[in-house]
Amino acid sequence: MLGIVFAAICGRMVAEAAEPVASRRPNIVYIMADELGYFELSCLGNPHLRTPRLDQMAAEGIRFTSALAGSSVCAPTRCCFLTGKHSGHTSVRSNGGGTPLRADEQTIASLLKTAGYATGGFGKWGCGGRGSTGVPEKHGFDLFLGYYDQVHAHSYYPPYLVQNSKEVPLAGNRGGSDGETYSHYVIVDAAKKFIRDHKDEPFFCYMPITPPHGIFDIPDDDPARMIYRDKPWPEQARRYAAMVSMVDRQVGEVFDLLKELGLEDNTLVFFSGDNGGADYFASKEHPRGIHGANVNPQTGVEYRGKKGNLYEGGLRIPMIARWPGRIEPGQVSDLLWYFPDVLPTITELAGVDNPADIDGISIVPTLLGEQASGRSQPTHEYLYWEIGGQTAIRAGTMKAVHPGSNRRWELYDLAADPSEANDLASERPEELAALKALAEAAHTPVQEGVFFDREIHERDRRAKFGGRDPSGLPAKVNTLPAAGLLPMKQLKIVAASSESDGNGKRAIHAIDGDPRTHWHTSFQPEVLKHPHELVIDLGGAATVRGIRYLARQDKGWNGAIASYEVTVADRPDDFGEPAASGTFTKKKQSQEFIFQPVKGRYLRLRILSEVNGGPWASIAELGIVGETSR
């Protein structure tokens, strides 16, 4: 009897294996909401937010309790998703908004292209601004409509969207919250049209949609607005809730379309967040936000942290997959996996080979069952994240977190301590050391792609504001007189203690000859304090007689320099005693400080304080008084 049962099972396995998964080449729809927290679905017990179609999707498919984001913010997490790499290997590790993929990088879409898939993307790209090597149409997408730059994506009413690097005007829009054409409707409509247009061939429809990410805008006549109209919450919290329910409705519309086209049984649909939830609308009464993105509504157990850091609150995302007839309905899986795993999962189903340098592992055995896929589910030796000065690494239930450059490593056992409240670092130093060693090996220096045309990219960023210059700069600004200075073109920044990359206030702006741009020190994920430094290569041995400085020319004063030291040396890494120290005053006009001449090739400006006593440093222009040695 046992033998017969065994033979029957084996027979079934053989039959399944004889028809490889890849031969069917399923359509793939991946819907990624921006900033939807783990506990913000009604099927997870959220007491406020109504998500009936997502709840239904979970009931008809598989819901994951331990699926994690590739990173805790938008651009880096998208890069992990698209390339199958963890953030120690990716090209987009900055969340500046337009940081590009390199030209040679493969993505899910470029791989699916090789298997004859039609590929479309709709929403927020975040892996390369216009004019760069990272644009989606150069990375496998036949069609991408939406926002290439993330700052552009802050507005639901921009004057235009971008499709394959061309502008698509949106009627009546003036940027910010001001306009007549809600961009998200245009994006969802285009995605549905793409599915319809490609119903007879395998397709990949990637929908990295922008809601419920703020600005929290949704048309007043959207049906989802009605659901929360009378709730006793702040208006912004009602809007956020409506955006969640709007997304839920639109996910349902995608399912309805697949059903109408007869594609349900041959289409795998994923739905997930992009990074951990934020504590939106936090108050004294609701310290973790009104809707409790990271608080288990049943147990009260919290995930520590939120979007932007590498505690569980920054990494936990909702994740559901549905494929009628292939994924057993009603499953809840505790498999520990993350964004780099999406690429190999999809390529396995499409029958495409993976690039050699990915970090992900296919989860097909979990999705389809180990019997149907003919093998057991492999698991990760470790999962790895880095962002800004933060690092985290997880092996099984153990997780080591390095929360910032001047903080100590922490160690948690998530099985016993899901809230990461009990740091075991001093109790279990060997385990921490082993994880740190893995983390060190997982990190490689970042190699970003490049821009050919920064101006077109800046134009997209200004489109958030309807094309207006948002910086608050007056029409006429002060300038740095050039007389007696080393030529600005000859100067080069060789080191900066930090720069506010996300704001486009990079160190280069201190010496770019443009008074309207400025360098600002970083304030995310943490505010870095004095001293701040710039090291400048003078382009050759020079006699330095002083410095000339122009404070930021917009309305702000943050970072405007008070006291500082100047050091000149022959090597960029061997500075001795300062040549001079001085103090600038609080004014927008050019200021100069002349000191005893000193010779050298490299100048270090060390900034010790700010005019208002704040922790930052900023410079619109810095000139070096002196002459190049002959």
Nearer Cβ to Ca ion (35/501): 35
Q: Of residues 514, 526, 592, 627, which one binds Ca ion by CB under 5 A?
A: 514
Residue 498's nearest CA partner among 368, 405, 421, 567 is: 405
Footprint (CB under 5 A) of Ca ion, residues 58-97: 74
Q: Of residues 25, 113, 249, 509, which one binds Ca ion by CB under 5 A?
A: 509
Binding mask 18-57 for Ca ion (x = CB under 5 A): ----------------xx----------------------
Nearer Cβ to Ca ion (35/279): 35
**Three-class SS state of 564:** strand
Instruction: Please report whether residue 222 would count as binding Ca ion according to CB under 5 A.
Output: no
User: Do 141 and 163 touch, CB atoms closer than 8 A?
Assistant: no
Rounded CA-CA distance 601/619 in Å is: 21
Instruction: Please report whether residue 499 would count as binding Ca ion according to CB under 5 A.
Output: no
Segment contacting Ca ion (CB under 5 A): 160-168, 194-202, 257-265, 504-512? 504-512
In the complex, what is the shortest distance from the CB of residue 32 to Ca ion, in angstroms, rounded to a whole number? 9
Q: What is the DSSP letter of 451?
A: B
Rounded CA-CA distance 112/140 in Å is: 8
Instruction: Please report whether residue 309 would count as binding Ca ion according to CB under 5 A.
Output: no
In the complex, what is the shortest distance from the CB of residue 136 to Ca ion, in angstroms, rounded to a whole number? 18
Looking at 19-106, list the stretches that DSSP marks H as alpha helix, in order from N- to C-terminal side.
52-60, 74-83
Q: Of residues 512, 533, 554, 565, which one binds Ca ion by CB under 5 A?
A: 512
Nearer Cβ to Ca ion (294/362): 294
In the complex, what is the shortest distance from the CB of residue 598 to Ca ion, in angstroms, rounded to a whole number? 25
Phi, psi dihedral angles at 599 (to 5 degrees): -100, 150
Nearer Cβ to Ca ion (560/620): 620
Segment contacting Ca ion (CB under 5 A): 153-161, 268-276, 491-499, 551-559? 268-276
Q: Of residues 133, 267, 517, 553, which one binds Ca ion by CB under 5 A?
A: 517
Rounded CA-CA distance 21/348 in Å is: 8
Beta bridge partners of 581: 565
In the complex, what is the shortest distance from the CB of residue 524 to Ca ion, in angstroms, rounded to a whole number? 14
Nearer Cβ to Ca ion (26/126): 126
Rounded CA-CA distance 358/338 in Å is: 13
Segment contacting Ca ion (CB under 5 A): 44-52, 130-138, 334-342, 503-511? 503-511
Size of the site for Ca ion (CB under 5 A): 11
Residue 606's nearest CA partner among 571, 568, 554 is: 568
Nearer Cβ to Ca ion (81/409): 81
Q: Of residues 106, 181, 275, 391, which one binds Ca ion by CB under 5 A?
A: 275
User: Which residues 6+ apart lie within 8 Å of 91 measured at CB?
Assistant: 79, 83, 99, 100, 101, 102, 105, 134, 446, 447, 448, 449
Residue 210's nearest CA partner among 380, 464, 430, 441 is: 464
User: Do 306 and 390 touch, CB atoms closer than 8 A?
Assistant: no
Q: What is the DSSP letter of 482?
A: -
Rounded CA-CA distance 421/301 in Å is: 11
Nearer Cβ to Ca ion (150/245): 150
**What is the contact surface with Ca ion in residues (CB under 5 A)?**
34-35, 74, 274-275, 509, 512, 514, 517, 620-621
